[in-house]
Amino acid sequence: MAQGPYSEKVMDHFMHPRNMGEIEDPSGVGEVGNPACGDVMRLYLKIENDTIIDAKFKTFGCGAAIASSSMTTELIKGKSIDEALAISNEAVAEALGGLPPAKQHCSVLAEEALQAALEDYKKKQQEGK
C-alpha cells in the first residue's frame, strides 16, 4: 500500500477512533482549542479511586487531532492520575508511530486536553463535589 505522510496507526485511529463520544456525569472535562487552526478537543474522564476507569473524547479537528485524541484515551485508561499527568504529546505521537512535523501541534492539543481534564477533576475534588 502507498505510504502517505501518516503512519498506519494514525490512519487506523483516524478511520476507527476509539472512545469517541461523551461520558455522562464525568469526573473531569477538559476542553482546549488551537486558535491557529481552529480545532477544538474535549476530553471526558471517569475517575474512581485515583484511577481513570473511562475516557471519551469529542474532537472537532483534523485527522491527526482525532487520531491523537483516540490514542490518548487508549493510553490513559487504567492509569493513575499521576501516570496520566506524565503523558506528554511526544508519548502520544510516538504511540501513533510518529506524526509529520507540521502535525505535532495536534498531539499537543491532546496533551493539553488531558491536563485540563485532570485539573478540572482536582478542582471538583477540592470543592467536595
Name which position in 10, 45, 65, 96 contacts ligand FES (CB under 6 A).
65
Single-letter amino acid code for the residue at 77: K
Question: Binding segment for ligand FES among 6-14, 17-25, 60-68, 77-85 (CB under 6 A)?
Answer: 60-68
Regarding 84 and contact with ligand FES (CB under 6 A), the answer is no
Angle at the Cα of 96 (from 76 to 25), degrees rounded to 5?
30
37 is catalytic: yes
In angstroms, the CA 67 to CA 17 distance is 7
Could you say which of 37, 50, 78, 119 is catalytic?
Answer: 37
Q: Is 37 in the site for ligand FES (CB under 6 A)?
A: yes
**Cβ-based nearer residue to ligand FES, 14 or 44:** 14
Residue 40 CB partners (closer than 8 Å, separation 6+):
31, 32, 33, 34, 59, 60, 61
Residue 112 interacting with ligand FES (CB under 6 A): no
Query: How far is it, in rounded angstroms, from Cα 72 to Cα 93?
Result: 9
* Residues taking part in catalysis: 37, 106
